[in-house]
Amino acid sequence: MRKGLLASVVVGMVFVGMGCEPHMALREMERQVDSLWLSAVDLRCEYMKDPLGIDAAQPRLFWKLDTPRRGAMQTAYRILVASSADKLAWNRGDLWDSGKVASPDSIQIEYAGKILTSGQQCFWKVRVWDEKGTEGPWSRPALWTMGLLKGEDWKGKWIGKDEAASAAAANPLAGASWIWFEADANKQAPVGKR
């Protein structure tokens, strides 16, 4: 009886040990595989990180590639641009979904979605594919905000000199009274403080 109990305990410990180690090993393998993916990082719009006041109707988008693998290269990308952070989180590019574009380019990718309006916020992210055709994870979201694109979008008034001040600046001596002496002031002027 004792031998049977001891054998059961030993076998149970082996299975428990085997059950834990493969699980932990699997988790570590998943972490390492995740880090081997090619991913887009450092997203920029018109050379800036999360810029405000972009005046280009079709802003240019940029990203860098990140992976610990040597020789990895991008073979395709997909860009999503959404009007809200929530829509982007749900992978809904309501402003632009480029679809999968076979290209190694990661610089100066022109926005080609819906027409953008003044003051509009655009949330975006990128996914890239590597040389093996492996799809990488979505990048962290980025943002750009459109500037004022038309003259009628400007609501402010000019800050500067008003017209009365401008007229005075054009003729600064208007209305001045002069004191002068007709003769040679050095020889004939009365003595006094000057």
Q: pLDDT for 96-116, tens place per residue?
A: 999 999 999 999 999 999 999
In the predicted model, is pLDDT for residue 125 greater than 50? yes
* 27/66: higher pLDDT: 66
| DSSP assignment letter at 2 | H
- The whole-number pLDDT of residue 13 equals 54
User: 57, 150 in Cβ contact below 8 A?
Assistant: no
Most confident of 53-57, 59-63, 174-178: 59-63
Alpha-carbon Rg for the chain in angstroms: 36
Percentage of the chain beyond pLDDT 90 is: 55
Kindly state the helix (H) or strand (E) to which residue 109 belongs, with its residue range: strand 109-110
- Side-chain-side CA neighbours of residue 38 (13 Å): 23
**Burial environment of residue 146 by CB neighbours within 10 A (0 to 12, 13 to 18, 19 or more):** buried
Q: State the average pLDDT over residues 18-23.
A: 54
**Assigned token pair, 52:** 């405000």
- The whole-number pLDDT of residue 165 equals 65
Among the ranges given (17-26, 29-38, 67-76, 169-178), the one the predictor scored with the smallest mean pLDDT: 17-26
Kindly state the helix (H) or strand (E) to which residue 39 belongs, with its residue range: strand 39-45
- The whole-number pLDDT of residue 176 equals 72
Among the ranges given (38-47, 48-57, 72-81, 173-182), the one the predictor scored with the smallest mean pLDDT: 173-182
Longest CA span, the chain: 142
Q: State the average pLDDT over residues 8-19.
A: 51
Amino acid, single-letter form, for residue 132: K
3-state SS assignment for residue 65: strand
* 36/179: higher pLDDT: 36
* Average predicted confidence (pLDDT) for the chain: 82
- The whole-number pLDDT of residue 173 equals 72
- Between vectors from CA 161 to CA 156 and to CA 167, what angle results, nearest 5°? 135
